[in-house]
């Protein structure tokens, strides 16, 4: 088995917070402004996705030993509504806040994600070796997405019709940066069940970044991904709900949240890389159940188990739900012994219809 330290990403990645199936629906909206923004966002995303496929994979660095004194190395750039990346540097590490709230939110979100991984798990940045955290804001005009392109974060300002500024929810920032963590650890292939696990891991740690930042325990957290991103006119609260997949939105324009919470409702589709943003609801819900069953701070025991699985070297890029579930049970036992942690994990996967034996 290849260890995470020796593994290099099999393919450059391009991961967005808003899935293409949702943008495709918006592209058919009666409102021409909404439809045009969605179409332009889809075209831009497709171009980035192609560019990443053509780029060579970067070698994986060797993770450094845990160092709680490590500091983030952040740079926020301004694309000035253009599409050239990274743009103009506007805030470097340690610099004072600017007069641009979007810049400051991006800077703070990068730091919040760094802090969770360092202080909760002893990991120095997304690659474990202190990689720089780069973010570009004000990308394009009315760009309705945020993405990780294998090297940096990019945020659109939204269209102010459906989506607001993508730096508003800190869990969106945590979600996208976690794709970098996955890129340098388990390297889960971005297709079908392994792709849904890739998305779910980003939702898990994105939610944990938010909970850690707000000082919320598992019972207090809302378990929403992207709360605060949707315009007030939209009938919905977020992009996804880990607590209740399929309930995040139900809107005439946006449609209804399609996420399942159980394998009985697993969606087989050729779109969205085999439904990676849809079927992630199943492992998302499993984590929610495990975390709330254990109680306390979700980033501690439940988060630690998921982190151990991602960094343990036992997963393959093609890992499926059942294999991941078994790995979490083994990781829980390895760290905590036969106790509440193992039982919580087993209960969680049983509840969503994923076997662990």
Q: Cα separation of 213 and 210, whole Å?
A: 5
107: pLDDT strictly greater than 50: yes
Contact 278, 272 (CB under 8 A): yes
Residue 118 CA, distance from chain mean position: 17
- Name 135's Cβ contacts closer than 8 Å, sequence gap at least 6: 74, 75, 76, 77, 106, 107, 109, 110, 152, 153, 154, 155, 173
8: pLDDT strictly greater than 80: no
pTM reported for the whole predicted model = 0.93
Across the range 140-152, mean pLDDT stands at: 94
Give CA torsion, residues 99, 160, 37, 29, to 10 deg. 170
Residue 161 CA, distance from chain mean position: 23
2: pLDDT strictly greater than 50: no
Q: Cα separation of 332 and 153, whole Å?
A: 32
> Per the residue annotation, which of 151, 161, 176, 341 is the catalytic one?
176
Show the tokens assigned to 166.
Answer: 């993508």
> Per the residue annotation, which of 138, 179, 277, 285 is the catalytic one?
277
pLDDT level of residue 46 (50, 70, 90 thresholds): confident
The residue among 206, 214, 210, 253 whose CA lies nearest residue 230 is 253
| Percent of the residues in the chain that have a pLDDT greater than 70, as a whole number | 92
CA angle 73, 79, 83 (to 5 degrees): 120
56: pLDDT strictly greater than 70: no
pLDDT at 165 (0 to 100): 98
Domains of the chain: 15-183 (3.10.170.10), 192-351 (1.10.390.10)
Across the range 68-82, mean pLDDT stands at: 94
How does strand 224-225 pair with strand 15-16? Answer: unpaired
> pLDDT digit string (tens) for 162-176?
999 999 999 999 999
89: pLDDT strictly greater than 70: yes
The residue among 309, 349, 307, 355 whose CA lies nearest residue 328 is 309
Mean predicted lDDT score pLDDT of the chain: 92
176 catalytic per annotation: yes
3-state secondary structure (DSSP) of residue 277: coil
> pLDDT digit string (tens) for 318-344?
999 999 999 999 999 999 999 999 999
């Amino acid at each position: 088995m290849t260890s995470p330290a020796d593994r290099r990403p099999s393919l450059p990645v391009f991961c967005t917070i808003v899935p293409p199936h949702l943008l495709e629906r918006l592209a058919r909206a009666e409102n021409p402004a909404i439809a045009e923004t969605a179409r332009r966002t889809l075209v831009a995303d497709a171009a980035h996705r192609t560019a990443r496929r053509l780029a060579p994979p970067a070698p994986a660095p060797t993770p450094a030993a845990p160092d709680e004194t490590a500091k983030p190395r952040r740079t926020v750039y301004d694309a000035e509504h253009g599409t050239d990346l990274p743009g103009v540097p506007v805030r470097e590490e340690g610099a004072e806040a600017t007069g641009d709230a979007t810049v400051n939110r991006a800077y703070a979100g990068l730091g919040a994600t760094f802090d969770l991984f360092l202080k909760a798990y002893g990991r120095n940045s997304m690659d474990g070796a202190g990689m720089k955290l780069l973010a570009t804001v004000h990308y394009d005009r009315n760009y309705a997405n945020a993405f990780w392109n294998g090297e940096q974060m990019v945020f659109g300002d939204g269209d102010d019709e459906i989506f607001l500024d993508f730096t508003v929810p800190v869990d969106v920032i945590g979600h996208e940066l976690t794709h970098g963590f996955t890129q340098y650890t388990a390297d889960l292939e971005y297709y079908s069940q392994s792709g849904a696990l890739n998305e779910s891991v980003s939702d898990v740690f994105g939610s944990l970044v938010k909970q850690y930042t707000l000082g919320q325990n598992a019972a207090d957290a809302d378990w929403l991904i992207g709360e605060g991103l949707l315009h007030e006119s939209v009938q919905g609260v977020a992009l996804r709900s880990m607590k209740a997949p399929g309930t995040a939105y139900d809107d005439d324009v946006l449609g209804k949240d399609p996420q399942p919470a159980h394998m009985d409702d697993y969606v087989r589709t050729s779109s969205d890389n085999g439904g990676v943003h849809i079927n992630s609801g199943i492992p998302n819900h499993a984590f929610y159940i495990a975390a709330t069953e254990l109680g306390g701070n979700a980033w501690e025991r439940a988060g630690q188990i998921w982190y151990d699985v991602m960094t343990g070297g036992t997963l393959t890029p093609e890992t499926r739900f059942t294999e991941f579930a078994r790995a979490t049970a083994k990781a829980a036992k390895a760290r905590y012994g036969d106790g509440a942690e193992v039982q919580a994990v087993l209960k969680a996967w049983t509840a969503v219809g994923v076997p662990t034996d």
